[in-house]
A = this chain, B = another copy of it.
Amino acid sequence: MTQFKPRDPDFERRVRDSFARQRVMSMLGASLTRVEPGVVEITLPFRGDLTQQHGYLHAGILGTIADSAGGYAGFTLMPPGSTVLSVEYRVHLLTPARGETFVARGQVVRSGRTLTVCELSVEAVAGGQRSTCSIGTQTLICLPEGEARPAG
């Protein structure tokens, strides 16, 4: 994977500040566990009230942490004074989301002036073993701060 150079040396603080404002993340119990240029990981411990009908983590919750991980991976490479929004994302559910902890990873594949494309994955950690339970891809848009809508 290409090595990315952040345009904002203060990218990590900017990502952590924004993540702290995503109230859904603290509600779910998710935390930022890796912030590097072009790569972000979000870790979510299993919780019974986040499950679907068979007791596994709901696919939408996997998608939620994957979408944020990708969004912040893209945000690490955006210039100061910008805002990031998801344009679209998609996830495949490879196996039932069984585990004690889930680690969503966003990895930038293309970082453009306006659009960013990320690969997404979620690993389930169970008994010390990691296995990929979801993969996906995502398109992000970079907007000037204050403009919080997708491309006017």
Contact = CB atoms under 8 A, between A and B. Distances in A.
A61 interface: yes
Contact of A151 (B21, B109, B115): B115
A150 B88 contact: no
**Chain copies in the assembly?**
4
A123 interface: no
Specify the main secondary structure of chain A where it touches its partner. Answer: mixed
A150 B60 contact: no
A69 to B, nearest CB: 10
Interface in A45-92: 48-54, 56, 58-61, 63-68, 83, 85-92
Contacts of A83: 54
A112 interface: yes
